[in-house]
């Protein structure tokens, strides 16, 4: 139990200052108690440090209350309440420290090695004693913690049995009586070792110990406890070479002049038998350990603050006829007997010997008088190297764990930084991001992404912008990244322009533009997985090319962020040209409602939604091709295409829109369709239409060209006649195109049909089908599955092959 759990003091209220004074004054005694009660298995070095730590932790934090109902006053209540409380806390913690650690039990603080005091590079232990001290230490190690506490309280604190029971119970011992019985058993073992005690071993049966040399009159042998069993000691001395009583103790008597004796228990401090005590009992009407007859005496403070009594009416713990502590009746002065009727045996004294209780005061058990030795130097060096390696590994692991992984830290899902220079740092500084005001675009000389204002509810979220910039510069392995062909994915050259930062659906989305690219960063609002980074090239964008950007894709739907000059938006199904467009709602930031995306449609081509926007100059038709920037749809000759909003354009796109899937994800900027020929069909089947579709990219290269043939039936989709990538055909540079198909007439006949742009003067087929025609059209009968090579002659005499 910690001293913070302030249980009422059994001896009265205790102030913090009172407990501190007792702890400082009796510090060596308290540390000795803790050292003796701690289990010897801890080792002497740890026992020393733990004993000091337990005593230093025993000071209460606030005033300790006394019992609610004071009990009858006892003799032991003369002990200082502060000392009694601190001693109880020391015993309580020392007993807890001796308990084993259990798997399911919550460990206590005293069971761990102390943090303070702590010594590095040295081992501390008390001074080494003799054979008696070693034997006592071995016997104490066989006792339980409560048993050692009971032995220490009786032998070192001079307490009687009732007081020992009470102190042990207050310290949390479950069975104080069993602990006292253990101490009695240890005392009985000492009696067996005493040659003068009944039943003891003969002197020749055991090794001689310090203080056991034969000869009369060992009044000169001394001990820290100050009590020896000897012969002929004068009254009024402490029993050590005739010295006066130490530390305020009255003179103790021993041997043949003892006024009393102990019956049925091992010798105690000052209770050594003389020749007249061979049976374990002394002569005279007065005695100790419950022997009646002790005269009343005055209370004299004992050594180390313990109270002793000179000839009191009974022992401090309640034994009648004995003095507190060692239970002696001695006169404070003079050589006379200690009590009336004391039996003085004039016979020579038996060989003197230190009792176990007296040995508790020896230097062997003094954790304040210490010796120092070094630890294992070789092992310490090995441990130092191992600790250094562990620290380095810990630092490396901490650095790796601190890097962005699944969490949105300072840089989110960004990879480790690999470049440190002022320009790169400025480009990634969220405070340096360019922001355009909402009033700039109306007066600008051009309308493109450079005049888009910063919009969205999270434009002030610096942490979000920092993560977005860091991931842009160093996308981690967990980031889903995409880029249109030919779009660089490196970090910005300088601070980019912020177009949008806000919450869309379940994502936080940030849109940047750096003059060359539009960059979209998205992260989930909830959770830490699923960051996405998309790049799209948007250089040289005009007002229509900068009319909208894709801000979100979720569940097959797409949301657009429209330019500030877009007045209204609508959705038009290209496959239903006669159907009116459906209005599309936008919020205050210009974000549209979700629209089913044709780029994510699966299965048959049953619907193709296009975004229709109206700006200051008219209607524009845009379509999502799986990129950030939607592609513009045009109609007309390559020299002068217009937006595909007219009736003829819508009807043509209704039959060719499904072919747009062939150009998805290729960085397409615009797609234009052109009817380059109209051909009468054999067998009177009507007129067929030849359409050339060209997809231009933002990068200028990689354009795709499709040649399609439309039969007279308006509900039949166009048939793909030829496809080419990177060809200049059907474009501004080279508007000429030539294509052919194998067609079956309604009557069942098969024909090779070919058509060229108006610049062709003749067409010719070879291979499986051989034929020649004047003009840009050709129709020749063929067999099913026939293959033919098609060439044409231009007006300047140049020959061209069919689109492939």
pLDDT per position as a tens digit, 515-527: 999 999 999 998 7
**What mean pLDDT value characterizes the chain?**
76
Query: Above pLDDT 70, what percent of the chain?
Result: 72
Query: CA 613 to CA 109: how far, in whole Å?
Result: 73
Query: Above pLDDT 90, what percent of the chain?
Result: 41
Mean pLDDT confidence for 7-24:
76
Neighbours of 571 (CB within 10 A): 16
Closest CA to 30 of 15, 13, 47, 51: 51
Confidence (pLDDT) at 191: 58
pLDDT exceeds 50 at position 350: no
| β partners of residue 368 | none
Confidence (pLDDT) at 112: 74
Rg (CA), the chain: 53
pLDDT exceeds 80 at position 582: yes
Element (H, E) at 471: helix 462-473
Q: Helix, strand, coil shares of the chain as percentages rounded to 5?
A: 25, 25, 50
Give me 91's structure tokens.
Answer: 């015993």
Confidence (pLDDT) at 45: 84
Model pLDDT for residues 701-725, shown as the tens digit of each residue: 999 999 999 999 888 999 999 999 9
Q: Among all chains, which residue has been given the structure tokens 């066989």?
A: 142
Query: CA 625 to CA 601: how far, in whole Å?
Result: 11
Confidence (pLDDT) at 185: 84
Going from N- to C-terminal start, the domains of the chain cover 422-600, 625-801
Q: Is 557 in contact with 543 (CB distance < 8 Å)?
A: no
Query: CA 94 to CA 353: how far, in whole Å?
Result: 30
Confidence (pLDDT) at 192: 55
pLDDT exceeds 80 at position 252: no
pLDDT exceeds 50 at position 324: no
Confidence (pLDDT) at 419: 53
Mean pLDDT confidence for 533-561:
94
CA distances from 512 to 156, 500, 503, 628 (A): 82, 7, 15, 11
| β partners of residue 668 | 697
Q: Which residue has the higher pLDDT, 420 or 231?
A: 420
Mean pLDDT confidence for 506-523:
95
Q: ∠245-246-247 over CA atoms, to 5°? A: 130
Q: Which residue has the higher pLDDT, 306 or 183?
A: 183
Confidence (pLDDT) at 263: 35
pLDDT band at 356 (very low <50, low <70, confident <90, very high): low
Q: What is the DSSP letter of 314?
A: B
Query: CA 182 to CA 188: how far, in whole Å?
Result: 10
Confidence (pLDDT) at 529: 74
Confidence (pLDDT) at 567: 95
pLDDT exceeds 60 at position 35: yes
Q: Is 682 in contact with 620 (CB distance < 8 Å)?
A: no
Confidence (pLDDT) at 232: 33
| β partners of residue 455 | 500
For the ranges 284-288, 523-527, 567-571, 756-760, the lowest mean pLDDT is seen at 284-288
pLDDT band at 282 (very low <50, low <70, confident <90, very high): very low
Confidence (pLDDT) at 74: 58
pLDDT band at 739 (very low <50, low <70, confident <90, very high): very high
Phi, psi of 597 (to 5 degrees): -90, 130
Q: Among all chains, which residue has been given the structure tokens 């009732």?
A: 162
pLDDT band at 295 (very low <50, low <70, confident <90, very high): very low
pLDDT exceeds 50 at position 200: no
pLDDT band at 66 (very low <50, low <70, confident <90, very high): low
Confidence (pLDDT) at 75: 55
pLDDT exceeds 90 at position 440: yes
Query: CA 80 to CA 86: how far, in whole Å?
Result: 10
Model pLDDT for residues 411-435, shown as the tens digit of each residue: 667 656 655 667 777 888 999 999 9
pLDDT band at 43 (very low <50, low <70, confident <90, very high): confident
Confidence (pLDDT) at 369: 81
Closest CA to 613 of 633, 636, 587, 638: 633
Phi, psi of 140 (to 5 degrees): -65, -35
For the ranges 18-22, 334-338, 388-392, the lowest mean pLDDT is seen at 334-338
Q: Which residue has the higher pLDDT, 407 or 64?
A: 64
Phi, psi of 754 (to 5 degrees): -140, 150
Model pLDDT for residues 129-173, shown as the tens digit of each residue: 788 888 888 888 888 889 888 888 988 888 888 888 988 988 888
Q: What is the pTM of this model?
A: 0.53
CA distances from 617 to 66, 566, 613, 624 (A): 94, 10, 11, 22
Mean pLDDT confidence for 679-700:
94
Burial of 401 (0-12, 13-18, 19+ CB in 10 A): exposed
Confidence (pLDDT) at 132: 81
Query: CA 400 to CA 781: how far, in whole Å?
Result: 73
For the ranges 63-72, 644-653, 794-803, the lowest mean pLDDT is seen at 63-72
Cis peptide before 117 (omega within 30 of 0): yes
Confidence (pLDDT) at 1: 41
């Amino acid at each position: 139990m910690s001293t913070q759990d302030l249980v009422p003091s059994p001896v009265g209220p205790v102030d913090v200052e009172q407990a501190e004074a007792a702890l400082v004054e009796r510090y060596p005694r308290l540390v000795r108690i803790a050292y003796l009660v701690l289990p010897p298995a801890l080792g002497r070095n740890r026992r020393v440090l733990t004993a000091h730590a337990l005593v230093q932790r025993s000071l209460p934090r606030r005033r300790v209350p006394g019992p609610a109902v004071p009990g009858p006053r006892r003799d032991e209540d003369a002990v200082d309440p502060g000392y009694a409380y601190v001693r109880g806390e020391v015993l309580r913690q020392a007993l807890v420290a001796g308990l084993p650690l259990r798997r399911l039990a919550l460990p206590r603080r005293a069971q761990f090695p102390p943090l303070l005091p702590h010594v590095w590079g040295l081992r501390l232990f008390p001074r080494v004693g003799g054979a008696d001290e070693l034997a006592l230490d071995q016997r104490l190690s066989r006792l339980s913690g409560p048993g050692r506490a009971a032995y220490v309280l009786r032998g070192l604190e001079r307490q009687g049995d009732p007081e020992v029971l009470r102190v042990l119970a207050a310290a949390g011992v479950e069975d104080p009586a069993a602990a006292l019985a253990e101490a009695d058993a240890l005392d009985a073992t000492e009696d067996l070792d005493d040659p003068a005690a009944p039943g003891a071993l003969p002197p020749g049966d055991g090794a001689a110990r310090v203080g056991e040399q034969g000869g009369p009159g060992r009044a000169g042998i001394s001990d820290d406890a100050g009590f020896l069993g000897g012969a002929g000691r004068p009254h009024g001395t402490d029993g050590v070479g005739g010295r006066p009583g130490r530390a305020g103790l009255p003179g103790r008597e021993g041997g043949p002049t003892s006024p009393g004796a102990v019956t049925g228990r091992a010798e105690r401090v000052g209770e050594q038998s003389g020749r007249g005590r061979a049976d374990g009992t002394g002569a005279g009407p007065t005695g100790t350990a419950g022997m009646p007859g002790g005269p009343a005496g005055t209370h004299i403070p004992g050594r180390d603050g313990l109270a002793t009594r000179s000839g009191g009416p009974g022992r401090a713990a309640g034994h009648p006829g004995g003095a507190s502590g060692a239970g002696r009746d001695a006169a404070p002065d003079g050589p006379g007997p200690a009590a009336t009727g004391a039996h003085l045996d004039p016979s020579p004294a038996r060989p003197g010997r230190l009792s176990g209780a007296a040995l508790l005061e020896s230097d062997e058990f003094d954790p304040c008088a210490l010796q120092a030795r070094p630890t294992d130097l070789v092992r310490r060096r090995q441990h130092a190297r191992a600790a250094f390696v562990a620290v380095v590994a810990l630092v490396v692991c901490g650095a790796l764990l601190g890097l962005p992984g699944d969490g949105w830290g300072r840089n989110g899902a960004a990879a480790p930084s690999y470049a440190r220079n002022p320009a790169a740092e400025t480009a990634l500084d969220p405070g340096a991001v360019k922001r355009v005001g909402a009033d700039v675009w109306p007066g600008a000389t051009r309308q493109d992404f450079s005049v888009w204002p910063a919009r969205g509810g999270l434009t002030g979220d610096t942490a979000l912008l920092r993560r977005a910039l860091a991931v842009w510069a160093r996308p981690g392995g967990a980031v889903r990244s995409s880029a249109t062909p030919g779009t660089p994915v490196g970090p910005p050259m300088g601070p980019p322009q912020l177009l949008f930062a806000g919450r869309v659906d379940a994502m936080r989305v940030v849109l940047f533009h750096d003059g060359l690219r539009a960059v979209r960063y998205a992260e989930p609002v909830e959770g830490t997985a699923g960051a996405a980074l998309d790049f799209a090239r948007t250089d040289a964008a005009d007002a229509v090319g900068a009319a909208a950007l894709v801000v979100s894709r979720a569940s097959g739907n797409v949301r657009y962020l429209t330019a500030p000059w877009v007045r209204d938006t609508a959705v038009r199904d290209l496959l239903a040209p006669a159907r009116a467009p459906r209005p599309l709602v936008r919020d205050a930031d210009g974000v549209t409602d979700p629209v089913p995306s044709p780029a994510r449609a699966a299965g048959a081509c049953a619907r193709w939604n296009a975004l229709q926007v109206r700006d200051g100059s008219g209607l524009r038709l845009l379509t999502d091709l799986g990129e950030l920037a939607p592609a513009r749809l045009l109609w007309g000759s390559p020299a002068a295409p217009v937006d595909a909003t007219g009736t003829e354009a819508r009807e043509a796109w209704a039959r060719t829109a499904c072919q747009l899937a062939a150009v998805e994800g290729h960085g397409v900027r615009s797609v234009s369709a052109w009817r380059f020929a109209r051909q009468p069909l054999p067998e009177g089947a009507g007129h067929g239409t030849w359409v050339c579709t060209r997809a231009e990219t933002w990068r200028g290269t990689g354009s795709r060209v499709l040649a399609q043939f439309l039969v007279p039936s308006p509900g039949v989709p166009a048939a793909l006649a030829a496809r080419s990538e990177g060809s200049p055909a059907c474009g501004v540079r080279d508007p000429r195109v030539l294509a052919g198909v194998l067609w079956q007439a309604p009557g069942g006949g098969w024909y090779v049909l070919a058509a060229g742009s108006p610049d062709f003067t003749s067409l010719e087929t070879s291979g499986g089908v051989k034929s020649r025609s004047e003009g840009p059209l050709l129709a020749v009968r063929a067999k099913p599955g026939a293959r033919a090579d098609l060439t044409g002659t231009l007006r300047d005499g140049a020959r061209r092959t069919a689109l492939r």
